[in-house]
Structure formats: C-alpha cells, structure tokens
Amino acid sequence: NNKKFVEAFKAKYGPKSVIGDVTQAAYLGPWLWKAAVEKAGSFDVDKVVAASPGIELKTAPEGYVKVDANHHLWSKTRIGQGQADGTFKVVAESPELIKPDPFPKGYQ
C-alpha cells in the first residue's frame, strides 16, 4: 500500500527524497502486468491486453486505481504545494477516481 511504499522508498533513498509520478508509475506497472497475466491465465500478449480493462488495484502507491477500456488508469487527482524542504504537501484531492481522457478534444 501507499504507506509501505513510501516507507520503503524513504528508507532506501533518504527521508527527504521525493516520490514523483514517474517513480510510482515504474513501481505500479509490473503489478498491473502481473494482475493482467493472472486474469488472462497466459503470458500471450494479446490475451494480456484483452484482460487488462477492469483490473483494479487497491495497493498502488497512489492508492486505489483501475484500468479503463482505453487501457489508461482511473485515479484520483491531487494538487500539491511545494515545501521549503523540497517535499510536497497535498492540499486538494478529488473525492472519487477520475475517468481517464487520454486524447481530449482540442489537443489534437
């Protein structure tokens, strides 16, 4: 879960180390793949891809996430405020998971 992930990360890299989106995504990716392989019952790429939508993980570093039919994640959005020590303090968080919109109109 998030607390264990943060504790392990800070134990290895120091108490002032910052965990960013890239770090948590690199950790989360293999867990999503594992869940998809288990759901597919196979390592076959096409079967794993087909099994991915609907996967839910409650132990992601960021908390609960789920995979949409478009293969992007539903997740909460957070706004952080930079602190003098280089860390961030979450000052706002969406109450629910937000549906991913990877290709919004107007950005094409």
Query: Which residue shows structure tokens 């293999």?
Result: 30
Residue 74, CA distances (Å) to 59, 67, 102 in order = 14, 6, 11
- φ, ψ of residue 5 to 5 degrees: the values are -60, -50
Dihedral, 43, 44, 45, 48 alpha carbons, nearest 10: -60
Supply 73's token pair. 């994640």
**0.95 exceeded by pTM:** no
Model confidence over 28-73: pLDDT tens digits? 999 999 999 999 999 999 999 999 999 999 988 888 999 999 999 9
